[in-house]
Amino acid sequence: MLYLAGTLAHHLQTRHAEWRGVAVYRRRAYGVALHFSLPGLMSLLSLVNPASMTMWRVSFAVVAAGGAIVLLLVRGSLPGAVGRAAYLAAVALYALIAVIAVVPSLVTDVGLSARALQAEAVLLTVLVFFGVNVAWLLLFEETPAASARTAHR
């Protein structure tokens, strides 16, 4: 994961001049940053008092709801069907994480034997997986400047 983050950071640095003037690329980069920072933020906030169920529920509910809203606000054209699917899945996962945090009994109500916190951990893991995939797509997507250079050759 650290290798991917380092590779993404390097690639974004090398494309900074190309991406700086294109709003959709800046929004996409921000969306990828959210895929990694919000799960970390939820986890760290819940560790403030690990014995407090209220602490994890509130931190997960507020951050996940905020994540779903912000991803909807920064959306733009996405790279292909996989990018769109990962984006929509991330929004849905953030919403589901928020709902489970507010109504933890939902996990057992649907017949799962896991505790709500375990279900949240699995959902966060899947969310980070989608983030890695979106980041990967961004690493190799052609920018308008690169497309123009290729066309002039």
Q: Dump pLDDT digits (tens) for 86-110.
A: 788 888 999 999 999 999 888 877 7
Single pTM value for the model: 0.73
- Asked whether 23 and 76 are in contact (CB, 8 A), the reply is yes
- pLDDT per residue over 127-144, tens digit each? 888 888 777 777 666 655
- How far CA 14 is from CA of 3, 5, 143, 152, in Å, comes to 16, 14, 12, 21
For position 99, what pLDDT does the model report? Answer: 94
pLDDT band for position 36 (cuts 50, 70, 90): confident
